Amino acid sequence: MSQVQTVKVIGMSCNHCRAAVEKALSGLPGVEEVNVDLEAGEAKIRSRAGVDDEAIRQAVQGAGYQVGA
C-alpha cells in the first residue's frame, strides 16, 4: 500500500522550478510518483513505505529550494 506525503516547498516560481523539484524528489529511494503544485507551493510524494523527512529536505535543498513548515 502506498503512502502520500505532502511537503511545502518555498522558492518555486516557474515550471522549471517545478520540474527541478519533481526530479530531485523522484530520485529518492522508494518514491513511486511526485506531483508538484506550483500555485500551492506543495509537493505530493507517493511511496511504498514513506520517505524520511530529512531525505526530502536535502533533496529539495539540493534543487535550490527550501522546505516550509
The whole-angstrom separation of Cα 44 and Cα 38 is 11
For the chain, what are the domain ranges?
14-67
14-67 belongs to CATH 3.30.70.100 = yes
Quote the pLDDT of residue 39: 96
| pLDDT of the residue at 69 | 80
Taking only the tens of pLDDT, the chain with its 69 residues reads: 799 999 999 999 999 999 999 999 999 999 999 999 999 999 999 999 899 999 999 999 999 999 998
d(CA 21, CA 3): 19
